[in-house]
Amino acid sequence: MSQPTTPGGGQWGELKHPRANNSQALAILGKIVRYVLLIGLAILFLFPFYIIVRNSLMTQPEITAFDAWQWWPESPQWGNYRNVFEDDAISMATGLRVSALLAIVNLVMQTIFASMAGYALARIPFRGRDIIFFLILLTLMIPGAVTFVPTYVVVSELGGINTLWGIVVPGLFNAFATFLFRQFYLDFPTEIEEAGRLDGNSYFGVYWKLLLPNSLGIMAALGILSFISSWNAFLWPVIVGQSESTRTVQVVLSSYLTAQTIDLTRLFAGAAIGAIPLIIVFLVLQRYIVQGVRMSGIKG
Amino acid sequence: MSASTTDQYQTVKVPWYRRTQAEASLAFILFVAPMIIGLTIFTFIPIVWGALISFSEARNTVSIGDWVGFDNYSAVLGNPEFRQSLRTILVFAVFIVPITFFLSLVLAMLVNSAGFGSAFFRSVFFIPTAISYVIASIVWKMGIFSGSAYGFANMVWYWLDENAPVVAWIGETDPPYYWLVLVTVRLWLQVGFYMILFIAALQEIDQTLYEAAQVDGARLGWHTFWTITFPLLRNTSIAVLMLNFIAAFQAFDEFINILGGVGSVGNISLARPPLVYLYQIAIQQQDYGRGSAGALILTAIIVAVTLIQGRLFGFGSKS
């Protein structure tokens, strides 16, 4: 705020630390530096989004113009977005359908399977329970992406190559989510559960009427994370779903990028179309996503 | 603990079929069944099958039985491309892990201390997490670091010096700065994720510790960071390092999309990570024996590193 009248001096009786005024000025300076840094970094982080929007609205010559960078297209080419859907050989519409199916089934089933198993492991007495829990924990040690070769072998034996189930089903069984749900249900007050049992409910009844409604927060958090990661998944969909009817959005976009001649307008409009659903999900449900990320942090 | 709760039920009026141990067992089995069946088919059987097929000659076939001993393993380990891929990913991890760690911690501290606008900045740094590697690769390869005479990076080059030659970031046979492209794209995508972990940890720190330090004459800043903040972030730091390392070791998407192509070879020989190598021999060349052998070698490396790291940092002993 104001400069100290006498350098380093507070007045006698004010009980100020000699450095107080000085450090106040320092604090303000620090604040300014922090905000300058934050704003600069924010621009840097938002820049790729700007590039997607800018290029998706330009003509090819405008994108590739070298010595005349345009910050914004002279006349935005909204038709680029329509053109993405007019390519019949590589259908973006199919891609969106497959990705939506993949992401929604993951959101629902991954969460349900994990919470069911987590509940049983936490609360239902069973002799082999510890062994089963140990087996599930064991799979956490194995890095998921690395096992894609053996999993591909098994799925192809089962006839899952170039089928929708082959893309979707192998990813529905999440051991780590099971572990998190088990932790959550272990902390769930036993009184509520016991009251439910005394009302004559079966284990399923207790789960359905009491535990499920009370775990919607963790379900939303983990469900949305699995929605995002399955929408964005590339390795598994690209090896299992190469046929026209089983390509996800990511596989379609990747085939644009690696085509012989790249149509830049279609590439960027396609990228925008692939990103928009997730940006909406992200902005609307950010609270749950943050919660889910925090939970997955304990994996380390 | 749950055994005692079931005992309590026996004293209350409950229909007989609800009282028995059988009900609990049946319920347990039904609840766990989907997860166990799924993990069995898509995790346990593949690992066993993969282990068996890695000892078999299995080109263009996924059947087991044509035993060849350790031939696949020695072929993979002896393959210069595979060994090069291990070196590549090690170099990649050496760059990406510390930079991600540092940047996500800095972002977390900036956001955490921002006060006004803190939620906005957190969202801005976090939102790239929602974007796929494929889309980010499109932006990096064709929008920013183009190999031809366009793209933002070359534009900046041009502004700085009109006569400067165009930089082939990833384009030609031997682009000089392709590492910059690969490291920055992953940084942009993942830093926000780890920032969230650090913010969570920072918010758990008891603020009275800083007040006490100030009373003792310490000034907030460098000193209190090293004596208070950093030690209390220990568990989160270890988690961030391990998650990040494991993720880096499994890099695939950005390498194949930026350097190569699903159908084409492109520039992938510049920096071929192990997963791309496995993809090429197992999926493209359909040599499942070698592919599985390579997958198991890689799994063993990651598990070993995880265990060593856990032992080094005494993970699990939360003090």
Chain B residues close to A258, C-beta within 8 Å: 257, 260-264, 266
Q: Which domain holds residue A68?
A: 20-81
Distance from B182 to chain A by nearest Cα, in Å?
Answer: 15
Q: What share of chain B is helix, strand, coil (3-state, %, to 5)?
A: 70, 0, 25
Domain boundary among A36, A65, A81: A81
Distance from A135 to chain B by nearest Cα, in Å?
Answer: 9
A·B CB contacts under 8 A: 323
Lowest-confidence region among A11-25, B110-124, B129-143: A11-25
Chain A residues close to B138, C-beta within 8 Å: 52, 253, 256-257, 267-268, 271
Mutation target vs B (from A124, A162, A267; most B CBs, 10 A cutoff):
A124
**A133 and A223 share one domain:** yes
Of the pLDDT bands very low, low, confident and very high (cuts 50, 70, 90), residue B263 is: low
**A174 and A203 share one domain:** yes
- Report the distance separating Cα B162 and Cα A66, nearest Å: 11
A202 inside 8 A of chain B by CB: yes
Domain boundary among A81, A102, A119: A81
Domain boundary among A62, A81, A100: A81
Q: Is pLDDT at B3 greater than 60 in this prediction?
A: no
Which residue in A77, A43, A44 sits closest to A269, CA to CA? Answer: A77
pLDDT given at position B52: 92
Identity of the residue in A23, A34, A141 whose CB atom sits nearest the CB atom of B114: A34
**A103 and A73 share one domain:** no
**A166 and A274 share one domain:** yes
pLDDT given at position B12: 55
Chain CA centroid to CA A33, Å: 32
Closest alpha carbon within chain A to B197: A294
Length, in residues, of chain A: 300
Provide the residue ranges of all domains of chain B, joining segments of one domain with +.
2-53, 71-312
Give A189-245 pLDDT, tens digit per residue.
888 888 888 888 888 888 998 889 989 999 999 999 999 999 999 999 999 988 889
Q: What percent of chain B has pLDDT over 90?
A: 47
**A241 and A193 share one domain:** yes
Record: contact A116-B302, CB cut-off 8 A: no
Q: What is the mean pLDDT of chain A?
A: 87
B158 inside 8 A of chain A by CB: yes
CA atoms within 13 A on the CB side of B278: 31
Model ipTM value: 0.88
> Does a structural domain hold residue A154?
yes
Q: What percent of chain A has pLDDT over 90?
A: 56
Q: Is pLDDT at B8 greater than 60 in this prediction?
A: no
A141 inside 8 A of chain B by CB: yes
Give B212-243 pLDDT, tens digit per residue.
888 887 777 778 888 888 888 988 998 899 88
Mutation target vs B (from A57, A146, A284; most B CBs, 10 A cutoff):
A146
Record: contact A146-B275, CB cut-off 8 A: yes
**A72 and A170 share one domain:** no
pLDDT given at position A99: 97
Q: Is pLDDT at A68 greater than 80 in this prediction?
A: no
B253 inside 8 A of chain A by CB: yes
Residue with the larger pLDDT of the pair B95 and B165: B95
**A37 and A120 share one domain:** no
Over range B102-113, report the average pLDDT: 94
Record: contact A153-B50, CB cut-off 8 A: yes
Superfamily of domain B71-312: MetI-like (1.10.3720.10)
The two tokens of residue B173 are: 């046979």
The helix/strand/coil state of B59 is strand
**A250 and A124 share one domain:** yes
Calculate Rg over the CA atoms of chain B: 26
Record: contact B262-A238, CB cut-off 8 A: yes
Cβ contacts of B255 within 8 Å, gap of 6 or more: B182, B268, B271, B272, B273, B276
A235 inside 8 A of chain B by CB: yes
pLDDT given at position A107: 95
Determine how many CB atoms are found less than 10 A away from the CB of residue B318. Answer: 7
Cβ-contact B296, B51 below 8 angstroms: yes
Q: What percent of chain B has pLDDT over 70?
A: 89
pLDDT given at position B211: 85
**A24 and A95 share one domain:** no
Residue with the larger pLDDT of the pair B60 and B33: B33
Over range A121-138, report the average pLDDT: 91
No. of H helices and E strands in chain A?
A: 16, 0
Q: Is pLDDT at B18 greater than 70 in this prediction?
A: no
pLDDT given at position A44: 95
> Does a structural domain hold residue A181?
yes
Over range A277-285, report the average pLDDT: 94
Q: Is pLDDT at A124 greater than 70 in this prediction?
A: yes
Chain B residues close to A251, C-beta within 8 Å: 262
> Does a structural domain hold residue A5?
no
Report the CATH number that the domain containing residue A105 is assigned in CATH: 1.10.3720.10
Residue with the larger pLDDT of the pair A160 and B316: A160
Q: Is pLDDT at A7 greater than 80 in this prediction?
A: no
**A29 and A162 share one domain:** no
Length, in residues, of chain B: 319
Q: Is pLDDT at A14 greater than 70 in this prediction?
A: no
Closest alpha carbon within chain A to B263: A258
A37 inside 8 A of chain B by CB: yes
pLDDT given at position A201: 84
**A257 and A134 share one domain:** yes
Record: contact A65-B150, CB cut-off 8 A: yes
Closest alpha carbon within chain B to A116: B31
**A206 and A241 share one domain:** yes
Q: Is pLDDT at A16 greater than 70 in this prediction?
A: no
> Does a structural domain hold residue A2?
no
